[in-house]
Amino acid sequence: MSDPTDAPRQLPLVLAEPRGRAKPPRHLADLDEAGRKTLLEEMGLPGFRAKQLSTHYFARLVDDPAQMTDLPSTQRDELVAALLPELMTPLRTMEADKGATRKTLWRLFDGALVESVLMRYPGRATVCVSSQAGCGMACPFCATGQGGLQRNMSTAEIVEQVVAAQRALTRDEVAGGPGRVSNVVFMGMGEPLANYKAVIGAVRRLTDPAPAGLGMSARGVTVSTVGLVPRIRQLTEEGVPVTLALSLHAPDDELRNELVPINTRFSVAETVDAAWGYAERTKRRVSIEYAMMRGINDQGWRADLLADVLLARGDWGWVHVNLIPLNPTPGSKWTASDPRDEREFVRRLEAKGIPTTVRDTRGREIDGACGQLAATES
The residues in 125-154 that bind ligand SAH, with binding defined as CB under 6 A, are 137, 139, 141-142
The stretch among 54-62, 75-83, 104-112, 322-330 that binds ligand SAH (CB under 6 A) is: 322-330
Catalytic residue (one of 41, 160, 370, 377): 370
Please say if 370 is a catalytic residue: yes
CA distances 85 to 154, 158, 210, 330, Å, are 13, 14, 20, 36
366 near ligand SAH, rule: CB under 6 A: no
Tell me, residue by residue from 155 to 194, as one string, x for binding to ligand SAH by CB under 6 A and - for no binding. Answer: --------------------------------x---x---
Q: Hey, which residues does 149 pair with through a beta bridge? A: 134
326 near ligand SAH, rule: CB under 6 A: yes
263 near ligand SAH, rule: CB under 6 A: no
Alpha-carbon Rg for the chain in angstroms: 21
Amino acid identity for residue 88 in this structure: M
Residues near 228 by Cβ (< 8 Å), separated by ≥ 6? Answer: 5, 6, 191, 193, 194, 262, 266
The residues in 264-293 that bind ligand SAH, with binding defined as CB under 6 A, are 289, 291
Q: Where are the beta strands (DSSP E) in 14-123?
A: 88-96, 101-108, 113-121
Residue from 263, 327, 337, 356 in contact with ligand SAH (CB under 6 A) = 327
Q: Is the peptide bond before 192 cis (omega within 30 degrees of 0)?
A: no
Residue from 54, 126, 154, 225 in contact with ligand SAH (CB under 6 A) = 225
The stretch among 10-18, 80-88, 151-159, 324-332 that binds ligand SAH (CB under 6 A) is: 324-332
Residue from 262, 370, 373, 375 in contact with ligand SAH (CB under 6 A) = 370
Q: Where are the alpha helices (DSSP H) in the chain?
A: 33-42, 49-54, 73-83, 155-170, 196-207, 229-238, 253-259, 268-282, 300-311, 339-351, 372-377
Residues with active-site annotation: 115, 370
Residues lying near ligand SAH in the complex (CB under 6 A) are found at 137, 139, 141-142, 187, 191, 224-226, 247, 289, 291, 324, 326-327, 329, 369-370
